[in-house]
């Protein structure tokens, strides 16, 4: 700007006079230091997105999981298999208890925890569970115990197989959301930073070699707030002051490494079966992670998957063709308390 020109001219005169006394290398060093200082000021601060937990802490999450799967079948056997469909609608409260925390490396630790899964029934006020069950209740309940490694991965999961399939799916949705930001490999993250991960699809499937490729981006910081559970089983905003959350956007795609002409998994080969076909899928996840605690405050996921597969005997006989289209929506929300039941009018 024009009104800054006199100061700029004075600075040039001062620098010219000073150069007579100091070597040019000094000016180069000073310029480098000034540039580094300015860059450091502009660089977003790193934050720790790993859950910072202590032994004895308890938390609760409200989980909703809805899926709709449409299956069309064609067969050349005598008895045709009709079209089928399956819908899953789970609403649950998950209690999380931290049993132990070991070691601290780059603000990460080995965490041993357990969860209790309770189905919410919005039609019955008497069946809505409390956030903190009594010791007597806990002794009678089945738990899922697990370890969170320092790299954000789950390990030593026990008790999950005893749950019904739809509850297993809902638990896995919670675990994936809870640990999404924890899988960030560096000690800290900053806005606009991205990280990728690859994970095998471990669910039973007639297509071998499936893996998820995920790209996550730390988009921005936003105010966020936990919720409280009403006596009807729904959620409402909590009275607590909002905190700041890192907003993580994740896009995932399901890739197939196996040949579409022979995609037979090992467990199908054992039963003398052969499969051929393709599978694909896409997920979009938005996760809010507390900058203060590293806990997931809210996460939502929209997913769609398609599979086109033929299952036959190893000799090619008795073929059955499946067209599968599935969509799902899940949400995980941190719950801080149960809202009091409204008083009846006098």
Q: Measured between alpha carbons, how far is 260 from 237 in angstroms, rounded to an integer?
A: 48
Note the pTM of the prediction, 2 decimals. Answer: 0.74
Q: How far apart are CA 169 and CA 270, in angstroms?
A: 26
How many other β-carbons are positioned within 10 Å of the β-carbon of residue 256?
Answer: 19
Domain boundaries, the chain: 58-338
Q: End-to-end distance of the chain based on CA atoms, in angstroms?
A: 72
Tens-level pLDDT at each residue, the chain (346 residues): 322 233 332 333 333 333 334 344 444 444 434 443 343 344 446 778 888 899 999 999 999 999 999 988 887 654 444 445 678 888 889 999 999 998 776 678 899 999 998 887 543 332 333 334 444 334 335 799 999 998 888 899 999 999 888 888 889 889 988 988 777 655 567 888 888 888 888 888 999 999 999 999 999 999 998 888 766 556 666 677 788 999 999 999 999 999 999 999 999 999 999 999 999 999 999 999 999 999 999 999 999 999 999 999 988 888 899 999 999 999 999 998 654 444 444 4
Q: Maximum Cα–Cα distance for the chain, whole Å?
A: 100
158 CA to centre of own chain: 20
Two tokens, residue 271: 């039963």
DSSP tag of 242: P
Hey, which residues does 218 pair with through a beta bridge?
248
Q: Classify residue 123 as left (phi > 0), alpha (psi -120 to 50) or beta.
A: alpha
Yes or no: say if 215 and 184 are a contact pair by the CB < 8 Å rule.
no
Question: Which two three-digit tokens encode residue 156?
Answer: 């030593």
């Amino acid at each position: 700007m024009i009104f800054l020109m006199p100061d700029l001219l004075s600075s040039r005169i001062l620098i010219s006079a000073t150069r007579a006394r100091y070597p040019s290398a000094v000016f180069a060093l000073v310029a480098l230091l000034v540039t580094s200082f300015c860059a450091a000021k502009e660089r977003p601060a790193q934050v720790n997105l790993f859950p910072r937990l202590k032994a004895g802490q308890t938390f609760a999450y409200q989980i909703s999981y809805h899926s709709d799967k449409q299956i069309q079948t064609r067969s050349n056997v005598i008895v045709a298999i009709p079209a089928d469909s399956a819908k899953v609608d789970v609403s649950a409260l998950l209690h999380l208890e931290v049993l132990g925390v070991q070691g601290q490396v780059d603000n990460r630790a080995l965490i041993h925890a357990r969860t209790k899964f309770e189905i919410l029934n919005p039609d019955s006020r008497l069946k809505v569970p409390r956030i903190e069950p009594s010791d007597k209740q806990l002794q009678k309940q089945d738990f899922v115990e697990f370890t969170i490694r320092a790299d954000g991965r789950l390990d030593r999961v026990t008790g999950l197989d005893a749950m019904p399939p739809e509850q297993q799916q809902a638990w896995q949705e919670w675990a994936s959301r809870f640990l999404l930001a924890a899988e960030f490999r560096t000690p800290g993250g900053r806005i606009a930073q991205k990280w990728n991960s690859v994970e095998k699809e471990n669910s039973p499937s007639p297509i071998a070699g499936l893996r998820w490729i995920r790209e996550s981006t730390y988009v921005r910081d936003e105010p966020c707030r936990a919720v409280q559970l009403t006596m009807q089983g729904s959620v409402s905003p909590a009275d607590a002051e909002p905190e700041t959350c890192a907003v993580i956007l994740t896009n995932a795609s399901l890739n197939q490494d196996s040949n579409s002409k022979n995609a037979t998994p090992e467990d199908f080969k054992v039963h003398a079966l052969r499969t051929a076909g393709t599978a694909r899928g896409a997920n979009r996840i938005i996760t809010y992670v507390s900058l203060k605690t590293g806990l997931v405050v809210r996460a939502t996921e929209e997913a769609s998957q398609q599979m086109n597969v033929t299952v036959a005997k190893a000799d090619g006989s008795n073929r059955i063709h499946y067209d599968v289209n599935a969509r799902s929506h899940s949400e995980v929300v941190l719950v801080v308390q149960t809202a009091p039941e409204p008083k009846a009018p006098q």
